[in-house]
Structure 1
Amino acid sequence: MIKRILFFVSLIIPFTILQASIVILNGLTHNYKVENGQVYKGKIAIENTDNKPQNVKIFLQDFMYQSDGTISYTSPHTNEKTNTDWIRLNTNFITLKAKEKTEIYYEIIIPNTGINAGSYWSVIMVEPVEDVKPSDSKQGVNITSIIRYAIQVITDYDAEKIKPDLKFESVRIEKEEGRQTVKIAIANKGNIYCKPTAVIEIYNRKTGQKVGTFSSQAMGLLPKTSKSYHIDINTIPPGQYNAVIIATDEDENAFALNVELEVKND
């Protein structure tokens, strides 16, 4: 058994990990308010930061995520709210010269009928094409680590007719990088994309005195997905507290939850 373990380790050591050099210049979320029968145009600006040419393939996938960190990239039509059939890419493959910038164009063609109010989405995957190349070393090969980018294309149809429906899934306090952090799992049970912020107001349980208000970063939340919103409360001393958590989206739709918190020394 010992000999097998040592042999396994000796195989791993010579491998070298390389990273792709493609970067996206104009954001990873493209959001459109759409109408029946209309055509919308978009682009993805990319750059090759390396000193050598880079091949890149471009393709569509469906996309979901949950607050436990699960992210799913699946083939088109696996999500019932997919818009992959509406999106036309101008290319599926490009070659960028060293230090070159370029733009990938796409069209979104909205059907005339058969759309219910709400958000539809997919992702445009931008993936460098790398080969496994022999190493100059006699001991192994270089393995390239592929860094893919997923650009969300979200189309909101008749968005003004519906509102988000946010639900709190869980609230817990954990140490994150040595700091006390409230982690609030929020799910979007509705049919429209929104970008909520979580705010927590903390009160002394004995006196009722307010001891602080803290907020998270705003994060986009697709329908039927959830995310964990992190709030730093490291300035709050150990003790027993009552708290009000409020999730508010960009249109000031608000959802509240009363909780009890215990901040520990650990």
Structure 2
Amino acid sequence: MIRRIFFLILLILQFNLLQAGIVVLNGLTHSYKVETGKVYKGKIAIENTSSNPQSVKLFLQDFSYHSDGTINYTSLHTHNRTNGDWIKLSTNLITLKGKEKTEVFYEVAVPDKIAEPGSYWSVIIVEPVEDIQPNDQKTGVNITSVVRYAIQVITDYETDSAKPDLKFESVKIEKEAGRQTAKIAIANNGNLYCKPIASIEIYNRKTGEKIGIYSSLAMGLLPNTSKSFHIDLNKIPPNQYKAVIIATDEDENAFALNVELEIKND
């Protein structure tokens, strides 16, 4: 009986999730290679998956993240590589009918002078809001946020003169969802956005025999940010090993670190 109730609740939750919500259709990262004084055009494709009308507001914020999992959405000019002033939205508020799709356009007007080469960025927040409803208990009205999408708008300027500079912050072997996992914190101390992959080459500590190479998924890394790259090591028997950790970006720039790893039973 308990299983049936749980299954029924799960179906109800899934049904509600499918029946309501705003979806961004054309990706959460928009990248441009830019030149000074030029204007670039982009768009955000949005769908209302519910059967009811849905209002959506759009606005700009600065954005950063760190390997400990913290994500910061802040007002513009929080960091010196914001491009929020370059971006102009065609509208800040739309209302979609049930099942309706629409596109919101924006322009990126690159200034005539940019201080340094490299990546500049901000995010366009797409936030559905509930209809304004009277409040019987308090004067005024309530506006309740439902969900938020953050669309990164990354502009790369003079990329030949810029580069990422990847640094290893920490290496940990921990159990995650019952599996031994390497958690490698990598920071980008350079001035160019990149999408690195973290890999581990593992060797027998006594014989030097190569055990294997294991890799993470590629993840985007903005300048002055860091992320934790996870690698599944559950197939490696418990023991102490020598290892080489390598971070490689899409241009095949590689950054390496020699470490000793201990994989435990527990």
CA RMSD of aligned residues (A): 1.9
Greater mean deviation of Cα atoms: 28-37 or 18-27: 18-27
Deviation at 1:114, TM superposition (A): 3.4
For 1:146, give the aligned amino acid.
V
Q: How does 1:88-107 map to 2 (within 5 A)?
A: 88-107=88-107
Q: Distance in 2 between matches of 1:94 and 1:134?
A: 21
2:46 is aligned to 46
Which residues in structure 2 correspond to 1:201-220 (within 5 Å)?
Answer: 201-220=201-220
Change (3 A) 1:132 1:172: farther
Distance 1:220 1:92, change over 3 A: same
SS in 1 for 2:218: coil
Residues 44 and 229 of structure 1, relative CA distance in 2, 3 Å threshold:
same
1:52 partner SS = coil
Q: Map 1:185-196 onto structure 2 (within 5 A).
A: 185-196=185-196
SS in 2 for 1:123: strand
**What is the one-letter code of the residue matched to 1:201?**
E
| Partner of residue 62, structure 1 | 62
Moved more, 110-119 or 23-32: 110-119
Question: C-alpha displacement at 1:145, in angstroms?
Answer: 6.2
Q: Secondary structure at the match of 1:44?
A: strand
Cα distance in 2 for partners of 1:193, 1:108 equals 18
Identity across aligned pairs (percent)? Answer: 73
- SS in structure 2 of the partner of residue 217 of structure 1: coil
Q: What is the identity, as a one-letter code, of the residue corresponding to 1:179?
A: R
The alpha-carbon deviation at position 222 of structure 1 amounts to 0.3
The aligned counterpart of 1:9 is none
The 1:172–1:132 alpha-carbon spacing in structure 2 relative to 1, beyond 3 Å, is farther
TM norm structure 1: 0.88
Within-5 A mapping of 1:115-154: 115-131=115-131, 146-154=146-154
The letter for the 2-side match of 1:258 is: N
> What residue in structure 1 maps to residue 9 of structure 2?
none
5 Å-filtered alignment, 1:248-259, equals: 248-259=248-259
TM-aligned CA distance change 1:145 to 1:86, over 3 Å: closer
Residues 144-186 of structure 1 show CA distances to partners (whole Å, capped at 9, x for unaligned) of 6621000000000001112210000000011111111000000
Work out the CA distance in 2 between the residues paired with 1:251 and 1:65. Answer: 23
AA at the equivalent of 2:211: V
Change (3 A) 1:125 1:238: same
Distance of aligned partners of 1:134 and 1:109 in 2 relative to their CA distance in 1, 3 Å threshold: closer
Aligned length: 243
Q: Distance in 2 between matches of 1:133 and 1:262?
A: 57
CA gap of 1:21–1:53, structure 2 versus 1, over 3 A, is same
Distance 1:115 1:218 in 2: 30
